Amino acid sequence: MAAIANSGVKVLTESTDLKSIPAEFSFVNEPTGSYSDSIPIIDFSLLTSGNPDERSKVIQELGKACEEWGFFVLVNHGIQETLMKAAIEGASEFFDLPEDEKRKYEAKHVSDPIKYGKGSVITTSDKKIFLWRDFMKSYVHPEFHYPDKPQNLREIIFEYAERSRFVARTLLQGISENLGLEEGYVQEILKLDSMFQLFAVNYYPPCPQPDQAIGLPPHTDHGLLTFLIHNGVAGLQIQHNGKWFNTNSPQNSILVNTADQLEIFSNGKYKSVKHRAVVNNQSTRISVVIANGPAPDAIVGPASPLVQRDGRPLYRPLKYIEYVETQLSNTVDGKVNLDFAKIQDN
Ligand SMILES: O=C(O)CCC(=O)C(=O)O
Ligand SMILES: [Fe+2]
């Protein structure tokens, strides 16, 4: 039992021939996801192409995707496929390191810039459940933190994060134009030059009873836009109109979801989408995530031109890094923080 509590799921699955999941992992899943052919696809190159008609059309599509789905598949984003592959393969090598090496990064405090672990959630009935996932998270911007080993990976992740920032800022500029905000407003208010980026690699080994465990339970992300790429094994599901949908991703695309700060900034126009990661009994799934957010010290509330237009703010302003760290230490329900920021009717 101690092995289960102390080591990651990778070690657990590799050291024993499991036919069923240990009781600590048992999670009651909502019904499984189906497919939708209407998940939006956004062509990033049209945002930067210089053709004004194409640009305004894609900005409209982007706004619609954020409003209706809170999720889209980004194609033609300009980040080289070789870099993305290197990031996925390299990041997953972290989990092959000896336990002692990984354990150096076991989280002691929520603000530790590098954290390794397995994670657990407390259910509404006060039960602790372990997730079928090992993770490594690190803060990569404005300060860059990354484990020393495996070697050479720091440069790859540094570059991937840098390219992602360009893509994220360009998308946010397009989104804020769709909200009717002036050029440069979003950049200045959210201090995007020093935007906070949290890098995460999630490792989901095959699970003998995939329907009875969960990789990551339903949650929303804390930032503005989250980018996710993976090793070709599906597992990310998003909630849409109360139902779960599998996400498809064409070769070399980035899966993008709206997150809490965008819901707050847009005064509720764009909802932070709930999503979860399911597991399977065949192949290891690896996802590489970059949560792109405002600057750590930015105080984020609804954009004032939108508050004026809507008549009142729906959320109260909070300092972003405090929001992140409350969410990272909160293991219950992904929406708790947003509810905390919400101004209640009375
Ligand atoms: O691995 C996935 O598909 C989901 C990851 C995720 O939602 C997260 O890291 O916040
Ligand atoms: Fe997430």
pLDDT at 195 over 50: yes
DSSP 315: B
- Residue 186 has a pLDDT of 96
Overall average pLDDT of the 49-62 stretch: 94
E strands of 24-181, at which residues? 41-43, 71-75, 114-117, 120-122, 128-130, 134-141
Radius of gyration of the chain (CA): 20
Closest Cα to residue 277, out of 218, 228, 319? 218
Round the average pLDDT of the chain to a whole number and report it. Answer: 91
Q: Tell me if ipTM is over 0.90.
A: yes
pTM: 0.95
- Residue 6 has a pLDDT of 63
Q: Which ligand is nearest to the CA of 137?
A: 1
Please, which pLDDT band fits residue 152 given cuts at 50, 70 and 90? confident
CA distance 76 to 80: 10
- Residue 331 has a pLDDT of 52
* Local structure of 106: helix, strand or coil: strand
Per the CB < 8 A criterion, the answer to whether 257 and 273 are in contact is yes
Overall average pLDDT of the 244-260 stretch: 95
208 CA → ligand 1 middle, Å: 21
Closest C-alpha to ligand 1, atom 3: 236
Please, which pLDDT band fits residue 337 given cuts at 50, 70 and 90? low
Strands 285-292 and 225-230: antiparallel
Least confident span in 14-18, 58-62, 157-161, 176-180: 14-18
CA distance 289 to 230: 9
pLDDT tens digits, residue range 234-248? Answer: 999 999 999 999 998
CA distance 307 to 41: 30
Residues in Cβ contact with 204 at an 8 Å cutoff, skipping those fewer than 6 apart: 9, 132, 133, 215, 235, 277, 279, 284, 285, 286, 287
Overall average pLDDT of the 266-288 stretch: 96
- Residue 8 has a pLDDT of 86
- Residue 315 has a pLDDT of 96
10 CA → ligand 2 middle, Å: 20
Pocket flag, ligand 1, residue 225 (CB < 6 Å) = no
Please, which pLDDT band fits residue 333 given cuts at 50, 70 and 90? very low
Identify which has the larger pLDDT, 89 or 6: 89
Please, which pLDDT band fits residue 341 given cuts at 50, 70 and 90? confident
Pocket flag, ligand 1, residue 267 (CB < 6 Å) = no
Prior bond to 142 cis, omega within 30?
yes
CA distance 177 to 319: 24
Pocket flag, ligand 1, residue 287 (CB < 6 Å) = yes
What's the full length of the chain, in residues? Answer: 346
- Residue 336 has a pLDDT of 56
DSSP 125: T
Element (H, E) at 240: strand 236-240
Q: Which residue has the tokens 């950049």?
A: 187
pLDDT at 180 over 80: yes
Q: Which ligand is nearest to the CA of 204?
A: 1
pLDDT tens digits, residue range 108-128? Answer: 888 899 999 887 777 767 788
- Residue 2 has a pLDDT of 42
Token digits of residue 137? 């998270």
Residues in Cβ contact with 103 at an 8 Å cutoff, skipping those fewer than 6 apart: 116
CA distance 263 to 257: 11
- Give the distance, in angstroms, between the CA of residue 226 and the centroid of all CA atoms in the same chain: 4
Closest C-alpha to ligand 1, atom 10: 221
* Local structure of 90: helix, strand or coil: helix
Per the CB < 8 A criterion, the answer to whether 74 and 40 are in contact is no
